[in-house]
Structure formats: C-alpha cells, structure tokens
Amino acid sequence: MSSLLVRLTRGNLWHFVWVAVVLSCLLSLCFSLLIHGQITWDYPFTAGLISLVVASIVVSLIKRMRALEQALAEASLGHAEDRRARDQAEGAWRDSEERFRSFMDHSPAIAWMKDERGRHVYVNHVFERRFRVTEAQWQGKTDFELFPHEVAKKFQEHDRVILADGAPREFMEVAPDPDGTLRDWWSFKFPFRDRAGQRYVGGVAIDLTDRRQAEAALKASEERLQLALGAAQLGIWDWDIVTNAVQWSENVHAVFGLSRESFAGTYEAYVSLIHPQDRERLFLAIRHSLEGQEDYRIEHRILRPDGSVSWVACRGDVLRNAEGRPVRMLGTVMDVTARKEVELKLSGSEAQLRAILDHSPALIFLKDPSGRYLDCNRQFERTFHLTRETILGKTDAELFAAPQAASFRANDLLVLEAKRPLQFEEVALHDDGPHTSIVFKFPLVNADG
C-alpha cells in the first residue's frame, strides 16, 4: 500500500491534498442530500477539515517513506561501491603478491623470512631448490631443524643482532649444501613488522664461494707473478694511449726509484724520467712500434730522484681496436745498469787493447783452431798490404803462398798439441824479399777447454 501511495504521489504532494479535500466535500454533500433530503453545509465542512488533516498526515508519511527509500538506495549503492573497492584492493594485493613471488622465485639469491622466534614463514623457490626442502619441511621450522647445529647457532646470533639493533646489516655466513659441501654466503638481513606489530627478520643471500675461490687463486697467481718478476728484476707497465694514463707494477716504481704516490701516472710523467739524450731515440722507437714497423725494443737511460743515472731495457706490444688503431701498449722493463756498466768497461778495455795492438811495431794476429784469422793489428795489414776485412775469416792458404802457408799451419798445430807457448823462426815474403822472424805463438783456451 505504501509503495502504491508513493507511486501515485510522485508529483506535487499538495495537489494530492487538495484533491482529497474536494472529493471528501463532494461525498459529504451527497450523503447529506441522501440522509436529510437537502444539502447541509456542516457535512462538507467537517469532511473537508477531517480530510485535510488526514491528507496532511499521509503526505508527511509519504515524505518520510521517500526519504527512507532514497536512504536505502544510497546505502545499497554505497555497499556495492565498497564491495567493488574491496574486490579491487584484494585483486591488487593478490597481483602484488604474485609479482613479488615471481620476482623472488626467479632471483639468483635465496630469500627467507622468519618470525621473532626464528620460525620460517617464507622462503623462495631458489631456497627450496638449493637446500632441497619442500614447503612442508620448512614451514614453521627453525634453522636448528634445517641446518647443522653450529651453522644454525651462527644464523641465530645474527638474527638476534638484527632484532636488537633494528637496522639492516650484512654478514658472511657459511652453510652446507645437501651433499655437505660448505659454501660461503653473503647475507643481507633486515628487520620489519606486520600490521599487528609482530617483528620479523628477512634476508637474501648470494653464494660467493666460486667467486672467493677465484679471487684467492688470482691473488696467489699475482703473488707468484710478483715473486717471479722480483727474481727476474722485471716490472710491468701499461700505457692507455686513449687516456694517456700509465700504470706500473711495484717493481717498476722500484726500478725508477719512485714511490707509488710520487709517480703521476701519465705518459708525460714517464718521459720526464728519461735521460734527455735518449728521448729522441725513445720517441722514434715508440712511433715505429705504433706504426707497426717493428716491435718495441729499446735500452735507454733514466734519471732517478737521487740524481743517479740507470739503464733500463724495455720491451712491449701494441694492442689495437677493431679498426686497427693502437689503443694500448703493454710491456716489461728491467734494470740493466750492472750489465751496461760491464759492457761499457769492457768496451773501454777493448778500445785500449785495440789501441795498443794497432800501435805495436810487431805483427799480431789471432786464429781459431781451424786456422782462420779472427783478428789482426794494423802492422799486419801494412806488412802484407791487406785490409782487416780481407784477412778476417781467411786461412793462411788463402792469403799466402803454399809453402809459406804450410809452414805457418804446421807451427800452429804444434802449439795446439803442446797446449803451451812455443817459439819459431818463420820466413815470410815481404816487398823487398823473404824475411825471417822470430814468432811467439801460444794457445788461448776458453772455459770449455
């Protein structure tokens, strides 16, 4: 009935009131005519008044019913919107959780979460595969139920540190694989709380065992290399041609008498250490090497901080890019000062000996065991009108008459057989005829006898 009244009074409610009053007055006039046989005005007046009051009450009820209907409609709409928003939030939460699990399950690191009592509430698939455990085996379990006691004890100590400090920290931890092999793990652990305020410890870890083993092997290799370089008194240099940076091994710093801090590490800083008289020769060797004309091989002098001059021997190779342009030079350097000093002294001694030989009035010569000339002085050249280049490498048979050459060779063999100095009288043809000379011949024995 109320719904019907509401539908009948969708328009102006006061129209409904006046229609009701007029109808009640007309009906009361009809009743007065039927009852009294004539029209009496007290009936319609009373009926109109009563209908006016009743209609007003009905209008008030209708307004309330309209307001209630509108409130119910709005409440229903709000409930639907709330349900839709809740469904959207739940869907977003599920999508976020799926993304999180997919991300963690495809991560190279193992990941886990534990409650305040150390019980696992989450691990990713990487953790399950690595330690060969299922959800039923790790869910709600502590480290003591999953790992050896000493390993679990160390995990527990680190977790307690995280909960006590309330801040993330890094640890190096050791955990065994299912086959018992101990592995080194870099672990990052952090605290967090849920909405209820419950504390948890989360963590991710990466297996660094292979990397640390490689680093240890590399370190050992570098130590062996340094020992070998030190024993050979060799240093390694690296010139980046693009950036102009120069890097030296420790041995190179020692060769140049510099500390690591005192060397600027540039090509110009290196050139400043080269003896001024050797720089052009150095530049030429570098240019030829960069142009591919020849390998980089050079010995030059350097100026040390204490003012002394040293000799170094440098060797290097050029590295080129895909276009063939030189981008780096790598090589070695060795201190050869001692050898160069010996060579210079020997060269000086040889020069002195050569001067003595060339200014001697006697004929002086040197032959190998087969009789070939290895050296002779100028007096020998002048006497027989031969040049040194013509004499060296030749035998007496190639330079003199056969009887004379045979006599010289016979005496040489006697000296070699006696292994001691011998004196002979030998006849040699000169420009003015044969000359007889007293010749002293002696054997020279090398280290091999």
pLDDT digit string, tens, across residues 205-252: 999 998 888 888 878 766 666 665 565 567 889 999 999 999 998 888
| pLDDT given at position 55 | 63
Q: Which tokens hold the place of 5?
A: 């009244």
Q: Which residue has the tokens 């209609």?
A: 55
Residues 238 and 338 in one domain: yes
The answer on pLDDT for 172 being more than 90 is: yes
**349 in any annotated domain:** no
Ranges 110-114, 149-153, 350-354, 436-440: which has the least confidence: 350-354
Residues 333 and 366 in one domain: no
pLDDT in tens, 22-39: 766 666 667 666 666 666
| pLDDT given at position 8 | 46
Residues 75 and 152 in one domain: no
The answer on pLDDT for 3 being more than 60 is: no
Percent of the chain with pLDDT over 90: 38
Percent of the chain with pLDDT over 70: 79
**286 in any annotated domain:** yes
| pLDDT given at position 325 | 92
Among residues 23, 48, 83, which one ends one of the domains? 83
Residues 111 and 79 in one domain: no
**77 in any annotated domain:** yes
**447 in any annotated domain:** no
The answer on pLDDT for 15 being more than 90 is: no
Q: How many domains does the chain have?
A: 4
Q: Looking at residues 86-92, what average pLDDT do you find?
A: 67
Say which residue, 152 or 10, is predicted with more confidence. Answer: 152
Ranges 99-108, 183-192, 198-207: which has the least confidence: 99-108
CATH number at residue 258: 3.30.450.20
| pLDDT given at position 56 | 67
Residues 264 and 318 in one domain: yes
Kindly report the length of the chain: 449
The answer on pLDDT for 271 being more than 50 is: yes
Residues 245 and 191 in one domain: no
| pLDDT given at position 91 | 65
**88 in any annotated domain:** no
Greatest mean pLDDT among 67-76, 145-154, 289-298, 334-343: 145-154
**225 in any annotated domain:** no
Residues 70 and 127 in one domain: no
Residues 262 and 317 in one domain: yes
pLDDT band for position 9 (cuts 50, 70, 90): very low
pLDDT in tens, 368-417: 999 999 989 888 888 888 888 999 999 999 988 888 889 989 999 998 88
The answer on pLDDT for 72 being more than 90 is: no
pLDDT in tens, 124-158: 988 999 999 999 999 999 999 999 999 999 999 99
> Exposed (0-12), middle (13-18) or buried (19+): which is 302, by Cβ within 10 Å?
buried
The answer on pLDDT for 273 being more than 70 is: yes
pLDDT band for position 449 (cuts 50, 70, 90): low
User: In sequence order, what are the residues at sequence separation of 6 or more whose Cβ sits closer than 8 angstroms to the Cβ of residue 38?
Assistant: 32
> Exposed (0-12), middle (13-18) or buried (19+): which is 208, by Cβ within 10 Å?
middle
User: In sequence order, what are the residues at sequence separation of 6 or more whose Cβ sits closer than 8 angstroms to the Cβ of residue 277?
Assistant: 301
**446 in any annotated domain:** no
83 in helix, strand or coil?
helix
Q: Which tokens hold the place of 342?
A: 């010996």
Contact 292, 314 (CB under 8 A): no
Contact 414, 429 (CB under 8 A): no
Residues 125 and 60 in one domain: no
Q: Looking at residues 79-88, what average pLDDT do you find?
A: 70
pTM for this model (two decimals): 0.43
| pLDDT given at position 134 | 92
Q: Phi and psi at residue 350, in whole multiples of 5°?
A: -65, -40
| pLDDT given at position 344 | 73
Residues 58 and 116 in one domain: no
Q: In what order do the strands lie in the sheet with 309-320?
A: 245-248, 234-240, 326-335, 309-320, 296-303
The answer on pLDDT for 11 being more than 60 is: no
Calculate the average pLDDT of the chain. Answer: 82
**Boundaries of domain holding 255:** 234-342
| pLDDT given at position 392 | 92
The answer on pLDDT for 345 being more than 80 is: no
Among residues 283, 311, 342, which one ends one of the domains? 342
Residues 243 and 328 in one domain: yes
Residues 11 and 63 in one domain: yes
**289 in any annotated domain:** yes
Nearest to 400 by CA among 422, 428, 379: 428
